Structure 1
Amino acid sequence: MLERARSLAAVTGAVVSHLSAAALGGFPLPQAFENPAVVHLTSPPGRRAPRRKNVKGHEHSLEPDEIVAGTRVRCTSPLRTWFDLACILSLDELVIAGDFLFRRRNHLTAIDKLEAYLEGKQGRPGYRRAIQARALIRAGTDSPKETELRFLQVRHGLPEPGINVPIFDETGGWIQDPDLSYAEERIAIQYDGGHHSTPAQRRSDIVRDENARDAGWRVVVLTQWDLTPFAYSMEPTAVTKVRAALVERGWVPAPGPTWECRPI
């Protein structure tokens, strides 16, 4: 997609934006929007939006700091790209993309910059959804699955977990940074994706979790199977397992309904 986007931007004078800028920037996108054949381009008001096959043209006024001039193509900045996605993605999808902005490694911006940026976007299309997403965004994640797991826990009546908070032993030695955790109950939650299936990674994971258990932590290991309920009306096992661990450690759930069947 990069070469085609570069050629189209050069011919039209437009800026690569929206889903195309998000894809080039590495934003996590739903599979339904991962279509590299369609290139999104933004032109300033007064200049006709590009109209070509497999091109989605937009007309928007972009500030200088909303354009990133890379070595090969001009794209909208990470903040502008995320804001444009507010008119395309669902709330949950927008939060996942927002968490990507503030990921633990190689973060793209800072929370205070997002706050200041949104102040200047009041009344613009997508502003309301962006503000809703901002309230749910958390910094320091490593993957979209961490965000998805956090949503599941909170929406099913569990406390909001910490994100990649380090665990230390009694001597101050580092043990691990669990994906999610409950420090008071000493519960560590690890999501094991596909890359955890290699023999070397499995051995590393076993040592990682044994060390945490030796330090008094309860470790809950989850996979994709735990995130998807067996039936629409059933609770995901990711929630069932974490709730059981919390109760085992003395947590008392609030009275009333414990979860809402709402897809991520």
Structure 2
Amino acid sequence: MRKRVAGVTFHVFRGMESYRKQDYERFWVASPAMTWAQMAGHCGVEDLAAIGSAMLSRDERRKVATLAELREYVENSPRFRGRKNCLAALPYITENTDSPPETQLFKALKDAGLGNPSPNHRVELDRSYALLDMAYPDCKVAFEYQGYHHAEPDQMMADAARLNRLQVRGWVIVYVTADDFRTPEARRSFMALARTMVARQRYLAEFCKLWQTPVAANRSH
């Protein structure tokens, strides 16, 4: 029931009720899925996808839900404000990402017609490995989001060594910054670059396959 209390704003949510209580807690709270659905009436599709992805973080300490749980909640709750936004955001929610900007990048790449990139794609590097923010393994193109911490000297040297080891294995790394999405014009410019890089590398990958096929056939004789 909506009530009047000084300094308090009441909201009415008509979606399915879903609550959760851990063993160590003394009261029930809204489940992550219901909390996410309640935000749908207050933000756009891109922000809603970022919120959902944050709930599905790669960090186990911050991961509170799964994509299946969010999808199941929307499907079982037919009427609430923002449900259309939830349905529109679900295809852009990615599990096991590290930050909201990565979700924004995933959506932009998918909307550009490049297909779904693989988040946190693992590449073996001798005795170690690298996790690439968003990758297209079919053509070895990866997009890496560069935050401010990458400007620190030690991080810059580590990034350079990592980049060299990836390039030896045929990977093309495209760096992404906040400025690439700051304005519509910057976003269009970056996405044109992204389409060019992926299309070029896919063309080269197909060319190499065609070139290698007859060689393999000749060796078989």
Q: TM-score range by the shorter chain?
A: 0.7 to 0.9
User: 1:65 Cα deviation (Å)?
Assistant: 4.7
Partner residue in 1 for 2:74 = 118
Q: Secondary structure at the match of 1:250?
A: helix
Quote the Cα distance in structure 2 between the aligned partners of 1:64 and 1:250.
47
Quote the Cα distance in structure 1 between the aligned partners of 2:187 and 2:144.
19
Partner residue in 2 for 1:148 = 104
What is the number of equivalent residue pairs in this alignment?
201
Quote the Cα distance in structure 1 between the aligned partners of 2:140 and 2:6.
56
After superposition, give the CA deviation of every residue in 1:187-220 in whole Å (9 maximum; x if it has no partner): 1211111121111211221122111111111111
Structure 1 gap ranges (5+): 1-44, 253-264
Partner residue in 1 for 2:134 = 180
| Residue correspondence of structure 1 range 93-104 to structure 2 within 5 A | 93-104=47-58
Q: Secondary structure at the match of 2:10?
A: strand
Of 59, 62, 65, which residue of structure 2 is paired with 1:109? 65
Q: Mark the CA change 1:136 to 1:59 in structure 2 (over 3 Å): closer, same or farther.
A: same
Amino acid at match of 1:108: V
The Cα RMSD (Å) is 2.8
User: Do structure 1's residue 136 and structure 2's residue 92 form an aligned pair?
Assistant: yes
Quote the Cα distance in structure 1 between the aligned partners of 2:189 and 2:147.
16
Q: Secondary structure at the match of 2:9?
A: strand
Asked if structure 2 preserves the Cα contact closer than 8 Å seen for 1:66 and 1:79, the reply is: no
Of 179, 200, 219, which residue of structure 2 is paired with 1:248? 200
After superposition, give the CA deviation of every residue in 1:81-121 in whole Å (9 maximum; x if it has no partner): 10100111111111111111212112111223223322321
Quote the Cα distance in structure 2 between the aligned partners of 1:108 and 1:164.
19
Identical-residue share of aligned pairs (%): 23
Partner residue in 2 for 1:52 = 6
Q: Mark the CA change 1:62 to 1:238 in structure 2 (over 3 Å): closer, same or farther.
A: closer
Normalising by structure 2, report the TM-score.
Answer: 0.77
Asked if structure 2 preserves the Cα contact closer than 8 Å seen for 1:179 and 1:191, the reply is: yes
After superposition, give the CA deviation of every residue in 1:40-79 in whole Å (9 maximum; x if it has no partner): xxxxx3xx435322x3212457988525578698642221
User: 1:156 Cα deviation (Å)?
Assistant: 2.9
User: Do structure 1's residue 214 and structure 2's residue 168 form an aligned pair?
Assistant: yes
Quote the Cα distance in structure 2 between the aligned partners of 1:94 and 1:127.
11
Amino acid at match of 1:245: M
Asked if structure 1 preserves the Cα contact closer than 8 Å seen for 2:133 and 2:143, the reply is: yes
Quote the Cα distance in structure 2 between the aligned partners of 1:236 and 1:175.
32
Partner residue in 2 for 1:189 = 143
Q: Mark the CA change 1:149 to 1:61 in structure 2 (over 3 Å): closer, same or farther.
A: closer
Asked if structure 2 preserves the Cα contact closer than 8 Å seen for 1:175 and 1:211, the reply is: no
Higher helix share: 2
User: Do structure 1's residue 227 and structure 2's residue 176 form an aligned pair?
Assistant: no
